[in-house]
Amino acid sequence: MTENTQRNMTVVVTGASGRTGSRVAESVRAAGFEVRAASRARGFDWEDPTTWAETLRDADAAYLVYPSDVGAPAATEGVGALAREAVGLGVRRLVLLSARGEEQARATEEALKTSGADWTLVQASWFSQNFSEGPLVEEVRHGGLTFPAGEVREPFIDVRDIADVVAAVLSSGERYTGRTVEVTGPRLLSFREAVGEISEATGKKLTYTPVPPRAYGEALTRFGVPAEEAEFLVEVFEGLLDGRNARVTDGVRQVLGREPRDFAEFVRESTAAWT
């Protein structure tokens, strides 16, 4: 596909105000595509199927990110139904952000694969930006992190690399159609080491306190998370953080021909988030 053809192509970017979607919009635009940003403020609601057609109509491709968790039962239904509607409207090229090693996400992935779409799955490791944006940032800013990750090591990925991978996948014609790309950062770090690097870069004393997943779930319910959602998160964390993901992949290099950004680079550029 030439850049000229891409210039005439419109990509719907869901979650466009979120961590990955905002960067995907930038990367996809930089690759020469038109971007149609989709989020609730722009009239697109995953929970209201009547809003989908308006967002999808006349587009050529879509980046799908299901809010909160790709493994939630509602995600399986939502992604499957939206993908079938997209295909019906002629928007066949769909790229779904999924989670690496998350058993609960397999049903959602399957729903996309059986929708008739020209699909690509981008299975990502834990985001570096979980420490600087979203629900954990306040805690990190105020002294550290209590989390059910024990001393397990994770290859944190910079969401900008996910965005570049999505743009490259969309720019590569059929090359990644019907394929799963597993993307991670370049280095394994425990959550203790990650918090330690943030502590060193900011000069703030930050501590990491590991807790059992079940105790973490109970704390979530005390903070108002519905019991069912907390139970789901406990199950997801028990799986994701049991050591199965303590392995680096070369997915970013395979797609982009360059190494993924290191956690240290992310920390250097994000100190404002913690100060």
Please identify which residue in 126, 176, 232, 266 interacts with ligand NAP, judged by CB under 6 A. Answer: 126
Please identify which residue in 32, 67, 196, 210 interacts with ligand NAP, judged by CB under 6 A. Answer: 67
At its nearest, how many Å lie between ligand NAP and the CB of residue 20?
Answer: 3
Interacting span for ligand NAP (CB under 6 A) from 19-27, 191-199, 200-208, 262-270: 19-27
Please identify which residue in 25, 124, 170, 241 interacts with ligand NAP, judged by CB under 6 A. Answer: 124
Q: According to CB under 6 A, which residues from 217 to 256 bind ligand NAP?
A: none
Q: How far is CA 176 from CA 5, 139, 257, in A?
A: 18, 38, 15
Binding flag, residue 65, ligand NAP (CB under 6 A): yes
Binding flag, residue 15, ligand NAP (CB under 6 A): yes
At its nearest, how many Å lie between ligand NAP and the CB of residue 70?
Answer: 4
At its nearest, how many Å lie between ligand NAP and the CB of residue 193?
Answer: 17
Interacting span for ligand NAP (CB under 6 A) from 66-74, 137-145, 147-155, 265-273: 66-74
Binding flag, residue 20, ligand NAP (CB under 6 A): yes
Interacting span for ligand NAP (CB under 6 A) from 52-60, 121-129, 205-213, 266-274: 121-129
At its nearest, how many Å lie between ligand NAP and the CB of residue 264?
Answer: 18
Interacting span for ligand NAP (CB under 6 A) from 127-135, 142-150, 217-225, 266-274: 127-135
- Please, which residue, 46 or 274, has the CB nearer to ligand NAP? 46
Token pair, residue 222, equals 């005390």
- Please, which residue, 31 or 236, has the CB nearer to ligand NAP? 236
Dihedral angle over CA of 153, 161, 90, 71, nearest 10:
20
Question: Which of 247, 251, 259 is closest to 189 using CA atoms?
Answer: 247
Q: According to CB under 6 A, which residues from 155 to 174 bind ligand NAP?
A: none
Q: According to CB under 6 A, which residues from 34 to 63 bind ligand NAP?
A: 39-41, 44-47
- Please, which residue, 3 or 250, has the CB nearer to ligand NAP? 250
Query: What is the full DSSP assignment across 99-113?
Result: ETT-GGGHHHHHHHH
CA–CA dist 63, 86 (Å, integer): 12
How many residues of this chain interact with ligand NAP, rule: CB under 6 A?
26
Query: Can you give the binding site for ligand NAP, defined by CB under 6 A?
Result: 15-21, 39-41, 44-47, 65-67, 69-70, 97, 99, 124, 126-127, 130, 134
